[in-house]
Structure 1
């Protein structure tokens, strides 16, 4: 099958492109400057810009399917325009380009952040409405609006499937992702403390298998949650300690203290030119989306997330192989 892929050099995309090539597909990957994630992979790299519809039409021409994995993830304020342009306008352009290029199916990677986080203590499944309202964080709003762009395309006849993964961990994290950087910092002893928070984490390889099966089995317009295991930052640190021997930080800040200090941490990071370790946005994620189902994925896709410890082990092993951990 001829498949085009956006976001091929990101965490999800780097794993997806390898699996698609392994399965024998003819893969065309949209790329910008950084092509490290595609080194040694038998893929056709083509230029493309999410904000240039004509370039997308050219890149998608002749493709049977398009996997839209490109995203701008941000846990800090100040990136609102870039986040909106990439995630919302970019997705709108992908939808238009798929229609113009005659693509048979679009597989869109949404996010758990696209869904409403309230009520906090009730199970989240595919019936949970999209996040809305004036108080949304920029990234959450962008992913909600991006999914609406895909749904609008479906309403006009586009064949599209929407995947909703939770927090992604695992190998081939080249940049690395924000959470990949946390794993590195833990492995290298760079984190002085943790926050008393948790999130639902899923192995990137499970997300990829779920996405490929969804592309084959799901009806047009289907939405599927791909969740994993809810684990605290302390549990993650202990798992990293098990793989590296590096002691987990003993100090765990209560959430109220972390929230109170987040603006100061962010301001200090701006002065030093370094990304903040803790932001209001990241703390919001660590106290919401508590109960997340993957029953639909299990039923339709035979989806079974692997043990969390395997994910951490694979992440650390890959960082070691890449020379990021000595």
Structure 2
């Protein structure tokens, strides 16, 4: 049987859809009944309600060891998709607890229960820092502890250290590092939130560059890697690198809304994130723009995909066409 943590998130939900389509026996962890609704809605929108009923749901939490005891009974393979994403400094403790401590718990249970293989869904945030002579981030790019990293990046890097620790103790592992994941069904978070904002009209764009990939490609690649003989490797999953302006324009074209015409300058973002912090401090509004988010919006980072393409001979979905498909998705 296969265990999926984070089955109520974007990657986990789509992974469950693909696994049940393949007629795999699947168990998924959930924290509360309400959290399952998004996953159920995804199956319904894809006319796969019958497959949803085949999932064995078990209540648990990766940070609560007693709740994981029953979850691992009879499990041979694990996809660890659970994680917490936040760039709010107030969430530092929660990031470390869920992403690092939670991953350590999953690794320990995998070892104790003789799990055959663990696939850990990480992030490009956990990758290394480019040296002066480097232009593109690869799996071999070294992490520089002297450079600034967001609390989220540190927590994902720490989670990977737990995976490597498990490997040293005899656990077969795979780490995937997706870039920004595009996918339907979760319009209130991540790239889905950007899609929602674009639909309402965005007056500005930033000049940053980063990588993008379709959620379908993330889960299909994860499944292929877990079913392969490949072990103890790390793979960047990235279709292509685009500027934020290019991505927003694609979304605008797909949604048939007006494109932004002005680039927001870094100095203005510096003012904006500070103001956002003040308003949040006085509980006037929830924190939406932090220093790390502002800097990431202006950062130009290119990610390689050569290793995964060489090892699996894989072709990813084209981002412009995929964004057009997302615009027609009804959740």
- Which TM-score applies when normalising by structure 1? 0.91
Q: Deviations over 1:197-228 (max 9, x none)?
A: 22211111111111111112253211111112
Deviation digits for residues 233-261 of structure 1 (CA, Å, limit 9, x no counterpart)? 22122112211211122222022332343
Taking the aligned partners of 2:285 and 2:243, their CA distance within structure 1 comes to: 28
Partner of 2:93: 81
Matches within 5 A, 1:175-194: 176-189=188-201, 191-194=202-205
Cα distance in 1 for residues equivalent to 2:101 and 2:65? 10
- Structure 2 residue aligned with 1:295: 306
Secondary structure of 1:79's aligned partner: helix
Do the aligned residues in 2 keep the contact of 1:61 with 1:102 (CA within 8 Å)?
A: no
> Aligned-residue CA RMSD in angstroms?
1.9
Which residue of structure 2 aligns with residue 285 of structure 1? 296
Deviations 1:44-86 (A, max 9, x none): 1111111122322320221110000001011222110111100
CA shift for structure 1 position 269: 4.7
Match of 2:106 among 70, 80, 94: 94
Aligned equivalent of 1:36: 37
* Aligned partners of 2:9 and 2:39 also within 8 Å: no
Which one is further off, 33-42 or 19-28? Answer: 33-42
Instruction: Report how far residue 165 of structure 1 moved.
Output: 0.9
Match for 2:278 among 267, 271, 286?
A: 267
Unpaired runs of 5+ residues, structure 1, are none
Q: CA deviation at 1:131?
A: 5.3
CA contact (8 A) 2:28 2:55 kept: yes
- SS in structure 2 of the partner of residue 199 of structure 1: strand
Instruction: Summarize the Cα distance change of 1:108–1:167 in structure 2 as closer, same or farther, 3 Å threshold.
Output: same
Give the alignment partner of residue 161 of structure 2, picking from 148, 152, 164: 148
Cα deviation code 1:19-44 (max 9, x no counterpart) = 01111101101001211133231311
**Residue in 1 that maps onto 2:46:** none
Moved more, 121-130 or 73-82: 121-130
Q: Note closer, same or farther for the CA distance 1:54–1:107 as it changes in structure 2 (3 Å cut).
A: same
Structure 2, unmatched stretches of 5+, are 41-48
Match of 1:125 in 2: 138
Q: Contact (CA 8 Å) 1:238, 1:248: kept in 2 or not?
A: yes
In the alignment, the residues of structure 2 paired with residue 62 and residue 289 of structure 1 have an alpha-carbon distance, to the nearest angstrom, of 45
| Matching of residues 38-53 of structure 1 within 5 Å | 38-39=39-40, 40=49, 41=52, 42-53=54-65
Q: Would the aligned equivalents of 2:308 and 2:314 in 1 still touch at CA under 8 Å?
A: yes
Q: CA deviation at 1:156?
A: 0.9
Match of 1:5?
A: 4
Q: In structure 1, what is the equivalent of residue 72 of structure 2? A: 60
2:211 to 180, 193, 200: 200
Query: 1:240 — aligned with what?
Result: 251
Residue 114 (structure 1) aligned with residue 113 (structure 2): no
**How many residue pairs are counted as aligned between the two chains?**
316
Distance 1:204 1:132 in 2: 30
Helix, strand or coil at the partner of 2:90: coil
Structure 2 Cα separation of the partners of residues 132 and 59 of structure 1: 36
C-alpha separation between the residues in 2 aligned to 1:306 and 1:204? 10
**Are positions 1:228 and 2:239 aligned together?**
yes
Distance (whole Å) between structure 2 residues aligned to residue 131 and residue 55 of structure 1: 36
Q: Conserved in 1, the CA contact under 8 Å of 2:209 and 2:302?
A: no
Q: Which residue of 1 aligns with 2:43?
A: none
